[in-house]
Structure 1
């Protein structure tokens, strides 16, 4: 397929888009950037194709127990009638007065897309606070499309990197599959602080949070002294 692709530079030159009063200098720089954006799109597709081709991951055999808003559930129950499941580990353990603002920002975006996502796959949010506390927070945020569960014994959070060996929490996204009666781990976002580039917070690629992608389109960028808040007041 790749040998049939038109060079990104050529596609960029073909672009008919122009804006009022732009300079020749702006258009030349924007065309060069467009070529890079086309290459980025192609690279993202190559990465997605490589991800889809991963061999089967490890079987899920741990002693995992959860409680949702309608009572206890097993790990298999999280799939519902779907064959793929994404589980987000929410930094909202019992030691926290309020949940992590960064996690909450990402989950707000997933909430907005939750009904669409769950047409294709199952989506669950797991935290270590009691389900009553999670349900109250869900009502406070006005979330209706996310399914929140308590990790009753903490085993899932420990095994799938929602909790570090020292007990501190980290955000974690894991994808699982159910094929021929066997549940397996498929993929996890494995970019941690150790893999972060100098001057950058740890982040995955692509970044799942729309917030950062939108800010990246501005001259100011993401900034270095600002993070999402749980409440901006009235």
Structure 2
């Protein structure tokens, strides 16, 4: 179906300019130019999302990985519930860690509040290599009530979708189930080797609103600032 061509971002930015008390002409010109770039960014995010959705079918999952949940053993195929899509986030909280990863924890702090909304569209779970009792104790300590947690006791899933069997690394993976067949749909890829100078290799778009909010501030993210578990 044909769609109307998009208007140039610069034209849209000039169409209804805001004006804040006491702003200078230079500020308004720079802000309007920035708005045009923000419109282009929004459009690029949508183009990337459409390209992601158009990926060819991923590999069929031939091993129905076994996890431990709060309610007992559960297979990967059983994590979907009533949905056709499953998001699994592997957090850095292996048995050798005294505390969870601050970066993973900060992200899950945000996701926990959104989980009730996300789960209306897709299934969402968080996996770690620690025993389920330890994972649930950490979740309770963090105040997480909306997320669903799983342990990967054998490490089979972690070995295939995170790295080494005992990999202490984050991973974001999406699975799709259609006609009873589970397939890999998408995983976040890349690490420090894809980072630009002076930056961490955050996902694009960022999965953590922490960074998105900081990007709107004068100081930005900073090059050496990271969230901590304590105040």
- What TM-score results when the alignment is normalised by the length of structure 2? 0.96
- Extract unaligned runs of 5+ from structure 1: none
Deviations 1:174-228 (A, max 9, x none): 0000001100000011132111111111111000100001011011011122211
TM alignment of 1:8-27, pairs within 5 A: 8-27=9-28
Q: How does 1:1-234 map to 2 (within 5 A)?
A: 4-62=5-63, 64-161=65-162, 163-164=163-164, 167-232=166-231
* Aligned partners of 2:159 and 2:167 also within 8 Å: no
CA deviations on 1:151-189 (whole Å, 9 max, x unpaired) are 01001011002x347x44211000000001100000011
Distance 2:3 2:226 in 1: 39
CA distance in 1, matches of 2:187, 2:64: 20
Distance verdict in 2 for CA 1:87–1:218, change over 3 Å: same
CA distance in 2 between counterparts of 1:164 and 1:22 reads 54
Q: Does the aligned pair in 1 maintain the 2:176–2:184 contact within 8 Å?
A: yes
Counterpart CA distance in 2 for 1:229 and 1:2 is: 47
Asked whether the 8 Å contact 1:62–1:155 carries over to 2, the reply is no
Give the superposition deviation at 1:138: 1.2
Instruction: Report which stretch shifted further, 139-148 or 110-119.
Output: 139-148
| Structure 2: stretches of 5+ with no match in the other structure | none
Q: What's the secondary structure of 1:79's corresponding residue? A: coil
Question: What's the CA shift for 1:48?
Answer: 0.5
1:92–1:98 Cα contact (<8 Å) kept: yes
**DSSP-derived class of the 1:208 partner:** coil
Separation in 2, partners of 1:225, 1:125? 27
TM-score in terms of structure 1 length: 0.95
Distance of 1:213 and 1:2 partners within structure 2: 30
Q: Secondary structure at the match of 1:20?
A: coil
CA distance in structure 1 between the aligned counterparts of 2:214 and 2:119, rounded to whole angstroms: 27
Count of aligned pairs between the two proteins? 230
SS in 2 for 1:177: strand
